[in-house]
Amino acid sequence: MCGIIGYTGPRACKGLILDGLERLEYRGYDSAGIVLLEDGALVRDRTVGKVADLRRLVGDNGSPATLGMGHTRWATHGGVFDRNAHPFLSNDGRIAVLMNGIVENYVDLRAEVVAGGHTLSSDTDTEALVHLLADAYEGDLVEAVRKVYPRLDGHFAFLALARDEPDRIVAARLAWPPLVVGKGDGEMYIASFLPAFLEQTRQVQHVEEGEIVDLRPDGARFWPIAGGPARERAVEEADATIEVAEKGGYETFMLKEIHEQPRAIADTIGERYRDGELHLDGIGLSDAELAEIDRVLIVGCGTALHAGLVGRYLIEEWAGVATEADVASEWRYRKAVFDPRTLVLAISQSGETADTLAAVQLARERGARVVAITNVMGSAVTRVADGVLYTRAGLEISVGSSKCFTAQIALMTLFALRLAQLRWRLEPARIAEIGRELERLPELVQRLLDDAAMHAKVEQLAREFSTHRFFLFLGRHIGLPICQEGALKLKELSYIPTDAYAAGEMKHGPIALLTDETPVVAVATDSHVYEKIVSNLQEVKARGAAVIAVVTEGNTNIHEHAQHVIEVPRTLPELEPILAVIPLQLLAYHIARELGLDIDKPRNLAKTVTVE
């Protein structure tokens, strides 16, 4: 969950590292730090706060350093204090280390280094590592890392520098925290994620799990930790451009990404649906195997799980396959029942979420087939699943997910249709009808995003309700996960408590929360449960609560039941959730904006959650 970057080459690197950290900041933003080799000394600066605070601290003065590395932190071990910010230095100032991830046996290691005479100045797991490296160091940092690495349990990626090796960075990776190398002209970068150095080079090499990387300005060498010769590693040209990591004229990444949804959905559907035919290349199961599936288990966290919950309705309804969706962190501790015809679908935008990865590993160990749905090429989940279906939403930077959610639903829709087709559960004419509507979806989403009246309404609601202390979201059937997503978006962006409930369940408890101060947001688009939700809205209205309803365009009857109405374009009821979530994303956005909050980097969160 932290972001890390290192540079070695001929150029003064302080600015490069700070710029890279800004691009990595979505990974964690409790504190930030940098270490530079200046005049033969490792000079470290770090501070609680964001990269902008670090930039203020270190100033814009030109440092001559041509070797350095930086870190942006999401706290795990040790509170958010300067002393726990990375990088860490050995007591003799010869070694510097920073890390993304966790060393699980840190208690023993900390005790060991203290017994060995080192002084600890932080509460972190990483600090033990720097002292172990200092003890192991005999003039060759790769050798020191080789000795120490086997002593570390957990999952991490770390970078290390030695004062006496002025052009070398050594990195190591265990399990899923990612590392990518950038090859420039006589200079090398290494970072958690490509955008950190994309402005400088698009030539990349991927670091595999269980590898040590030795970086010098003229290139990188990759060693398996288990021993053996250095491995060849192809240099690839990244297809991303730096624009993907820019706000492109929008005030935030979140707003930009909300507006990128038509493209994200269009690219995700892409060539996968053509003339009634569905092509799910990469799924890793033959048509015959897919047709045999009689149970689907969907796992994910947060927004990804909500997309999975939408998928559950579609798979059951169209393909007639029993489907469950569960929180990955819970599912992995259940005794889930499998047989060879069970398929696990793991959804993760980042492909790095520790709980989802652990669930996938467990499912594989128990013999299930696993298909990953992710937005990040080559991410950890792609390496452990049998097959991969990529959403093609482009890089999502805002911590609050938006375009990946709708792209995930589009992909779940294609998957459910394909399963239905292979199992002969839908007539070809019906598949063609759904396919046509799927192809229209990007245009409908665009129409909604171009609807000035919708934006004006949402902004007015944000002004009216931003000071309210609690929101209840109500939905039924496929509208329920959309409410769950709307409620999650609002709580994570605005810090206002929210709850999302099946509307029919409201009378069994949450109705006690309703007063004339409780806004109730309902997804009431046209469907077979529309009348049911209207009855529930009557119950809300009778308690004096204000109703904000998201409905299908042309619904005139809803005004009797809701004070505030937002219309979305008409499509098939099964596809309407993709449209209904957009005003909810914008409502959360504008409420957070009214409250003056940092929308792209909400309090305490991180974009990728690589700890359990």
- CB-nearer residue toward ligand M6R: 122 or 379: 379
With CB under 6 A as the contact rule, the residue among 34, 309, 399, 478 that binds ligand M6R is 399
> Measured from the CB of residue 349, what is the shortest distance to ligand M6R in angstroms?
3
**Which pair of structure tokens corresponds to residue 585?**
């994303």
Q: Which stretch binds ligand M6R (CB under 6 A): 58-66, 203-211, 282-290, 395-403?
A: 395-403
What would the DSSP string read from start to end of 509-538?
A: TGGGG--TT--EEEE--SSTTHHHHHHHHH
With CB under 6 A as the contact rule, the residue among 58, 75, 132, 301 that binds ligand M6R is 301
Of residues 302 through 341, those in contact with ligand M6R by CB under 6 A are 302-304
> Measured from the CB of residue 483, what is the shortest distance to ligand M6R in angstroms?
15
Q: Is 403 a catalytic residue?
A: no
With CB under 6 A as the contact rule, the residue among 326, 492, 574, 576 that binds ligand M6R is 492
> Measured from the CB of residue 245, what is the shortest distance to ligand M6R in angstroms?
17
Q: Which stretch binds ligand M6R (CB under 6 A): 103-111, 217-225, 345-353, 460-468?
A: 345-353
**Which amino acid belongs to residue 80?**
V
Residue 60: φ, ψ to 5°: -100, 10
- What is the distance of C-alpha 192 from the center of its chain? 13
- CB-nearer residue toward ligand M6R: 57 or 240: 240
With CB under 6 A as the contact rule, the residue among 350, 406, 552, 610 that binds ligand M6R is 350
Helices marked H in 188-343: 253-259, 261-269, 287-292, 302-314, 328-331
What would the DSSP string read from start to end of 266-290?
A: HHHHGGGEETTEE--TT--S-HHHH
Contact map string, positions 570 to 609, toward ligand M6R, x by CB under 6 A: -----------------------------------x--xx
Put the strands of the sheet holding 295-300 in their side by side order. Answer: 322-327, 295-300, 342-348, 369-374, 387-390
Catalytic residue, chosen from 2, 13, 301, 483, is 2
The C-alpha atoms of residue 318 and residue 242 are separated, in whole angstroms, by 40
Q: Which stretch binds ligand M6R (CB under 6 A): 206-214, 259-267, 274-282, 396-404?
A: 396-404
Coil, strand, or helix at residue 29?
coil
Q: Count interface residues toward ligand M6R (CB under 6 A).
A: 16
- CB-nearer residue toward ligand M6R: 169 or 373: 373
Catalytic residue, chosen from 14, 183, 256, 607, is 607
Q: Is 457 a catalytic residue?
A: no
Put the strands of the sheet holding 203-206 in their side by side order. Answer: 41-48, 31-38, 67-73, 3-8, 188-191, 180-183, 203-206, 236-237
Q: Which residue in the shown chain puts its C-beta closest to ligand M6R?
A: 302
Helices marked H in 393-509: 403-422, 428-449, 452-465, 479-494
Active site residues: 2, 607
Tell me which residues touch ligand M6R (CB under 6 A).
Answer: 301-304, 348-350, 353, 356, 399-401, 492, 605, 608-609
